[in-house]
Structure 1
């Protein structure tokens, strides 16, 4: 499996990418992280980029994610919004967990917003959905489908009992 090669291949697994906690607000268009590859006060930003940027990219497919290395004396995150504004977030001397928690509070969606969006995604008005809690209880209610064998017996050529029975 070629995707399991390289440094820390766990970062490319679907389970790891889905475990990301940072879902950015809808009006964030560009998310950039500025840090250096050296220095102790940049260690948290380096770890954040290494471990959490793939999750941020996976959870926010409409947001452009940039990492700018060795261009700044202190690490920071800058978010650009669709109305032209930008927000500067200082991550100097913070570890990656503190950075994630702070970003969730400042530019992330709340837990209530995420729950409401998941409920809306599971809309019940799709005619392909059937079962408990949907418009149709069974697929046999759709015209053109075979009716349930409990209400209308199947034709003999569709029954395994007759089709595969020894003659």
Structure 2
């Protein structure tokens, strides 16, 4: 499989991308990461970009995420909000787990809110659902569908005993 080649191919799997709990708050619009790929005190930012940035992009499709390399002597993250404000996060000499935990604690939705949103997404309010416990009991209630045979008899060409039965002269 070609997607399993390269450095740490696990990062390209759907299971890995979905395993992250980094779901940013709705007011976050842009995240930039500034780091150098060579310096030792940039190792935490480098590892964060390598391991957690794909997950962050996958979980937040409406947030613009940019990385800037070799532009700054100290690594930092800058988060821009929808009202025009921005926050600088200093990640100089911090390890990757500390950066991850700080972003999760300050800029991400809490776990309780994520669970509530998941329950709302699973709710039975989807108009395509029908049956017991849904808005519609039967698909025949939707305009354009064939009515129930108990209410309006089906045409004989749509009934099996006429369609597949042997015709006798």
TM-score (norm 1): 0.79
Q: What are structure 1's unaligned runs of at least 5 residues?
A: 147-167
Q: Deviations over 1:9-68 (max 9, x none)?
A: 111110000011211111111101111112221111100000110000000000111111
- Structure 1 stretches of 4+ moved >6 Å: 137-146
Correspondences of 1:58-77 after superposition (within 5 Å): 58-77=58-77
Name the structure 2 match of 1:150.
Answer: none
Task: Report the Cα offset of residue 125 of structure 1.
Answer: 2.0
Correspondences of 1:12-161 after superposition (within 5 Å): 12-130=12-130, 133-135=133-135
TM-score (norm 2): 0.78
- What is the aligned length? 167
Q: What are structure 2's unaligned runs of at least 5 residues?
A: 147-169
Q: 1:73 to 1:133 in 2, by over 3 A?
A: farther
Name the structure 2 match of 1:8.
Answer: 8
**Cα distance between partner residues in 1 of 2:93 and 2:137:** 57
